[in-house]
Amino acid sequence: MEGPGHPRLTIRDLTWLTIPAYRAVWNYLANMDEVSNIIWRLLPTDDPLPH
């Protein structure tokens, strides 16, 4: 869903030091009430998210 009433968050850069910190950042982003889409087009190939 996009358009008015469906705000999105675009990630340009994401940095963390530990996997628990990484999970905490994503948990925070996923629980933002006003955001319906999270977009990260430049996802690094070694990012733990797809695994």
Digit-coded pLDDT (tens) for 1-51: 555 667 888 988 888 899 999 999 999 988 888 888 888 888 888 888 765
* Residue given tokens 């977009």 in the structure block: 39
Helix (H, G, I), strand (E, B) or coil at 40: coil
For residues 24 and 50, is the Cβ–Cβ distance under 8 A?
no
pLDDT at 34: 84
pLDDT per position as a tens digit, 13-26: 888 899 999 999 99
pLDDT at 50: 63
Question: Do you know the residue count of the chain?
Answer: 51
Amino acid at 14: L
What is the residue extent of each domain of the chain?
Answer: 8-39
Closest Cα to residue 16, out of 37, 50, 46?
46
